A and B are shown apart, each in its own frame.
Chain A
Amino acid sequence: MTKTGLVLKVIDNLESYICRALLALFVLLLFAQIVSRELFQQSLSWSEELAVYMFVWFVFFGASYAAKLSAHNRVTFHFKWLPEKVAVTMEALADLIWIAFNCYFVYLSYDFIFNKMNLFWKSQTLGVPMKYIYLILPIAFSLMTIRIIQVNYFKLVKGIDIRDPESLELDELIGDDHLADTQNNKK
């Protein structure tokens, strides 16, 4: 793979990489906490707080990743009674509202962190300024907005419909079955 190709791939899956690492880390951290408590009768004071903050970062990066996979649940069963053009326009309009909401939220959280928040507010056991921990909110909601635009660009301009991973898995199940059936028929 070329260098730019690799860089593009990393950027394309950025949230996924970060989330996998965060998830593995906080699961390990919690396990270490249980082991140290049960086997060595020593509880770590800082581990729970650190794990919770990693979890929050994991959640919001994960939400952005879910947007990239267009996995956020919508109620769509009524779309099959509508002409396709109407349905596509409605969904695009809904996504536009989503983008507006995200932009406003990015503004709110940025304003909160840099103007409204008490700068000396620190986390209880780690002593990290809460300002840095809250930074995930503007970062993740900006990323999510980019991902929504990305999905819609593929759908409306390139004509590639990104379907959520659940229905893809279902298609795979159905596909496998057909395959098995044709193989059985051959016998």
Chain B
Amino acid sequence: MAESTIVLVLFGTFFLLLVLGAPITVSLGVSALLSFIYLEENPIKLVQIAFTSVGSFPLMALPAFILAGALMEAAGISRRLVNLAESFAGPFTGGMSAATVLACMFFGAISGSGPATTAAVGMLMIPAMVKRGYDRGYAAAVTASSGGLGIIIPPSIPMVIFGISAIGLTVPPEAIEKYGSFQTVSISTLFIAGFMPALVISISLLIMNYLRCKKAGYKGTSDGWSLGHIGGAFKKGFWSVLAPLVILGGIYTGFFTPTESAIVAIFYTLMVGWFIHKELKWKDLVHSLETTTWLSGRVLLILFTATVFGRVLVENEIPDSIATSMLSLTDNVYLIWTMIIGFLLFVGMFMETLAAIMILTPVLLPVTYSLGIDPIHFGVVLICCLSIGFATPPLGENLFVASGISDTPLEDITAKALPFAAISVVGVFIIAFVPEISLWLPRLLAG
């Protein structure tokens, strides 16, 4: 009985404040504080959590990757990568929009954010597609839908946040007893694990794109591949192509931690931007620092209150009762995945991605542990699901960005983006049902 009242206090206050229009961080903090008071626990714990939740070395990867991404934009690295992808368009049906998906993949390898990927790629590719006779709304829809790849392809800011939230949670002893020990969560492992699932989603997007372009009759150029064009774009973009290799190579070989590789990326970008491309201005540097400041401050304040919220959940064994009630419905792991994916897609439609990860990880990760699901595999599926939410109404940040850039009404893009969202969902189910897609590469690299 006491358990159900605490659920009411915690979630009731949380949703009430959200509806009232309070910031997510305040809704989490106040509802957790009220639960502390209700349970007659000492709220002084909040002070320690405020400090310990934020003061961790792996978490410094977050501002470092945000800063690296902002600098790469200013240093002209992003633009050259997109140009390189564009040169691959060639004679295919739907080649230009396939190149857009490719550009989002390249860009995802240096940036960890969905809307940023959509904006950077869309600015160059949407006009290019329109020039080749593609429908404006379709061009914007392709960009918005593949922008979500930015958070699945490492480095990924949501993966940093999932890693941090998951590291703080202990594995329930009953689960270890039943399924043996689980692998420990690390941000490096997540970065490696995200690679193959990102390919699965990309391929499903490319298939859908081919089918729709064939129907619409978007043909490629008749002069075939232009090797000179590709060569030229590659030569100009040489230092830009090296950037993702520096970031991922360092992490995949285990040479750098994610935080260190982001720091190296920052200095690499500064060198390239100042001495090779000569595009980076002092003003851009200051602006990048400023953007990183408010973005990190906003996200990490949520991390503090979400940690307190998660603590209340776990201490009251709320995830356990969710797991028990799910298992009483069915013990078929595929059905359980279906329920989890459905729930995540629903949340992804309404809530900001990073906040959703911080709130859902302490609720769902203990559940998946007690079902014997690998935590890395769960993290990848979680992030794939939420990435689809970038391109679905009513809160699809990528749709807003794409609508802004292409100057087309939101409704038009939304309708044309839905088939892409549908095929991505199919991709997510494949990733969830076949754990090896996520787990094979990390095992291979671990030796």
Given contacts A27-B266, A63-B297, contact A52 B57 (CB under 8 A): yes
Given contacts A108-B44, A116-B44, contact A52 B55 (CB under 8 A): yes
Within the complex, the shortest CB–CB distance from A118 to chain B, in Å, comes to 12
- Cβ proximity bits B122-139 to A, threshold 8 Å, 1 near / 0 not: 000000000000000000
Contact status A34-B290, CB under 8 Å: no
For A16, list chain B residues within 8 Å (CB). Answer: 290, 293
Contact status B21-A97, CB under 8 Å: no
- Indicate whether B298 reaches chain A with its CB closer than 8 angstroms: yes
Choose, from A1-9, A73-81, A152-160, the stretch at the interface.
A73-81
Chain B interface (Cβ within 8 Å of chain A)? 17-26, 29-30, 33, 43-44, 46-48, 50-51, 54-57, 59-60, 63-64, 67, 115, 119, 256, 259-260, 263-264, 266-267, 286, 289-298, 300-302, 350-352, 355, 394-395, 400-401, 404-407
Given contacts A63-B301, A98-B23, A177-B407, contact A23 B63 (CB under 8 A): yes
- Indicate whether A122 reaches chain B with its CB closer than 8 angstroms: no
Contact status B21-A62, CB under 8 Å: no
Bound together, the chains give a CA A137 to CA B51 distance in angstroms of 8
List the B residue with the shortest CB-CB distance to A87. Answer: B21
Chain A interface (Cβ within 8 Å of chain B)? 15-16, 19-20, 23-24, 26-27, 30-31, 34, 48, 51-53, 55-56, 58-66, 69, 71-79, 87, 90-91, 93-95, 97-98, 101, 104-105, 108-109, 111-112, 116, 133-134, 137, 165-166, 170-171, 173-174, 177-178, 181
Contact status A62-B294, CB under 8 Å: yes
For A73, list chain B residues within 8 Å (CB). Answer: 23-25, 298, 302, 352, 355
Partner of A108, one of B17, B43, B260: B43
Partner of A26, one of B17, B43, B60, B291: B60
Bound together, the chains give a CA A52 to CA B64 distance in angstroms of 13
Q: What are 19 A-B residue pairs whose CB atoms fall within 8 Å in the complex?
A: A30-B260, A31-B264, A61-B293, A65-B294, A66-B297, A73-B25, A73-B302, A74-B22, A74-B24, A75-B21, A77-B394, A79-B21, A97-B22, A97-B30, A105-B50, A108-B44, A166-B115, A170-B400, A177-B404
Interface of A is mostly: helix
For A61, list chain B residues within 8 Å (CB). Answer: 293, 297
Apart from the given pairs A16-B290, A19-B297, A72-B24, 11 other A-B contacts in the complex at a CB distance below 8 Å: A24-B289, A34-B263, A59-B301, A62-B293, A73-B298, A75-B21, A75-B24, A94-B22, A104-B33, A170-B400, A177-B404
Partner of B60, one of A55, A95, A108: A55
Bound together, the chains give a CA A43 to CA B355 distance in angstroms of 36
Contact status A91-B60, CB under 8 Å: no
Contact status B407-A178, CB under 8 Å: yes
List the B residue with the shortest CB-CB distance to A171. Answer: B404
Partner of B286, one of A20, A71, A98, A116: A20
For A24, list chain B residues within 8 Å (CB). Answer: 289
Closest 5 CB pairs of A and B: A62-B297, A94-B22, A72-B23, A63-B301, A63-B297
Bound together, the chains give a CA A79 to CA B33 distance in angstroms of 26
Most interface-central of B23, B25, B115, B291 (chain A CB within 10 A): B23
For B267, list chain A residues within 8 Å (CB). Answer: 31
Contact status A56-B404, CB under 8 Å: no
For B24, list chain A residues within 8 Å (CB). Answer: 72-75
For A34, list chain B residues within 8 Å (CB). Answer: 256, 260, 263-264
Given contacts A30-B259, A137-B51, contact A101 B297 (CB under 8 A): no
Within the complex, the shortest CB–CB distance from A167 to chain B, in Å, comes to 9
For B260, list chain A residues within 8 Å (CB). Answer: 30, 34
For A31, list chain B residues within 8 Å (CB). Answer: 263-264, 266-267
Contact status A109-B289, CB under 8 Å: no
Given contacts A59-B301, A66-B301, contact A48 B57 (CB under 8 A): yes
Bound together, the chains give a CA A34 to CA B394 distance in angstroms of 44
